[in-house]
Amino acid sequence: MIDFIRENLSYYPMYYRMLFKTKKEIVPERVDYGSDKDQYFYYYEPKTPVSDKIIVWVHGGGWNAGNPKFFDFVGQNIAREGYRFVSLGYRLSPKNKYPVQIEDTCAAFNAAVKHLKGKGIDTSRIILSGPSAGAHLSSILCYSRKVQQEYNVDISGVIGYIGVGGPFSFRESQGMTIKMLLGMLFEKGYDRVQAEPVSLMESSSIPMLLIQSRHDGLLEFECAEDFARKAEAVGNKCSIYEVEDKRNTHSWYTAGCFLFGRSEDKTVDRFLSFVENS
């Protein structure tokens, strides 16, 4: 309960920093891949690239909020570090029920790869990532061959995966907030196993880093442990990083951490270290 209260109290300082303390040095390129207002992605080209690796990021927001524009500060931060960054958008619940969100995530990924190739950019070294609801969607895209085949997605260029604060398993012990969000995401009677990352994961050569906090306030730490156990069972390489920063509630460590540089936030440093070493 204390961490749930801390999570809710974190919104004002995070929004304040986002609105008044964030430098916008790069103008992202917007690319629409569908007719809906949320079917687009932002592409950030760093002023001085330090690597040929590309970070493809699926935003969070409980499946019912957020878009690439809102999370511009994440793209700004990563691009300042010298990495090409793509932020994928998708249609939101409750108006749009699952599997619309994974359908859009796959379509956006395909469109982004095509767009980058059109620019002459090598797409053979992609780090796929997402926080919260975006961790749910990106993990399915990365580790479910069934979904890849259904939506004709080629992930051969993905060399690493980072899931941050993700509902990788739909545990019965989850709090009311997650239960409510899942209730808005799915039609009544939908078989949720067909959308649960831990149930959909198959063997893969793509190593993963799971970033999770024991003081999340919304999600249980066991979600990452469930996913890690499944990874071990199918032979996938997985490591869990337990958030050490004082800003360790859900919204802070899944997205708000990118309002700080890597020298100021250990989570950001761990994220970028994984990218560098992949």
Q: What are 30-79's pLDDT values in tens digits?
A: 999 999 999 999 999 999 999 999 999 999 999 999 999 999 999 999 99
- Looking at the structure of the chain, the number of domains it has is 1
Question: For position 11, what pLDDT does the model report?
Answer: 84
Using left for φ > 0, alpha for ψ between -120 and 50, and beta otherwise, residue 170 falls in beta
Cis preceding linkage at 99, omega within 30: yes
Question: For position 131, what pLDDT does the model report?
Answer: 98
Give residue 150's domain range.
Answer: 2-277
Question: For position 175, what pLDDT does the model report?
Answer: 81
Within 10 Å of residue 62's Cβ, how many Cβ atoms? 19
Q: Give me 275's structure tokens.
A: 């990218």
Q: Residue 49 in contact with residue 40, Cβ under 8 Å?
A: no
| Nearest Cα to Cα of residue 111 among 138, 143, 86 | 86
End-to-end, the C-alpha distance of the chain in Å comes to: 37
Query: What percent of the chain has pLDDT above 70?
Result: 100
Question: For position 172, what pLDDT does the model report?
Answer: 83
Read off the pLDDT band of 197 (50, 70, 90). very high
- Decide if pLDDT at 22 tops 90: no
Can you tell me the distance from the alpha carbon of 248 to that of 227, in angstroms, rounded to the nearest whole number?
20
Question: For position 15, what pLDDT does the model report?
Answer: 85
- Decide if pLDDT at 2 tops 90: no
pLDDT single digits (tens) 206-236: 999 999 999 999 999 999 999 999 999 999 9
Q: Give me 131's structure tokens.
A: 């926080």
Read off the pLDDT band of 158 (50, 70, 90). very high
Which residue pairs from 235-238 have beta carbons closer than 8 angstroms and sit at least 24 positions apart in sequence? Answer: 235/203, 236/143, 236/201, 236/203, 236/204, 236/206, 236/207, 236/208, 237/207, 237/208, 238/207, 238/208, 238/209, 238/210
Question: For position 5, what pLDDT does the model report?
Answer: 85
Can you tell me the distance from the alpha carbon of 126 to that of 191, in angstroms, rounded to the nearest whole number?
31
Give the ranges where 186-249 is alpha helix by DSSP (H).
197-200, 222-234
Q: Which of 23-37, 63-77, 168-182, 234-248 has the lowest mean pLDDT?
A: 168-182
Query: What percent of the chain has pLDDT above 90?
Result: 89
Residue 156: C-alpha distances to residues 15, 148, 272 (Å): 37, 11, 21
| Nearest Cα to Cα of residue 27 among 10, 17, 49, 42 | 42
| Nearest Cα to Cα of residue 212 among 255, 165, 265, 163 | 165
pLDDT single digits (tens) 3-18: 788 988 888 888 888 8
- Name residues whose C-beta falls within 8 Å of residue 30's C-beta, 6 or more positions apart in sequence: 40, 41, 42, 68
E-strand spans in the chain? 29-32, 40-44, 54-58, 84-88, 126-131, 158-164, 208-212, 238-242
Residue 145 maps to which CATH number?
3.40.50.1820
Instruction: Give the angle 15-20-21 at the CA atoms, nearest 5°.
Output: 95
- Decide if pLDDT at 140 tops 80: yes
Q: Give me 150's structure tokens.
A: 């259904």
- Decide if pLDDT at 136 tops 80: yes
- Strands 208-212 and 158-164, how do they pair? parallel
Can you tell me the distance from the alpha carbon of 165 to that of 250, in angstroms, rounded to the nearest whole number?
7
Read off the pLDDT band of 27 (50, 70, 90). very high
pLDDT single digits (tens) 100-133: 999 999 999 999 999 999 999 999 999 999 999 9
Question: For position 13, what pLDDT does the model report?
Answer: 87
* Entry pTM: 0.97
Question: For position 244, what pLDDT does the model report?
Answer: 95
Q: Residue 172 in contact with residue 192, Cβ under 8 Å?
A: no
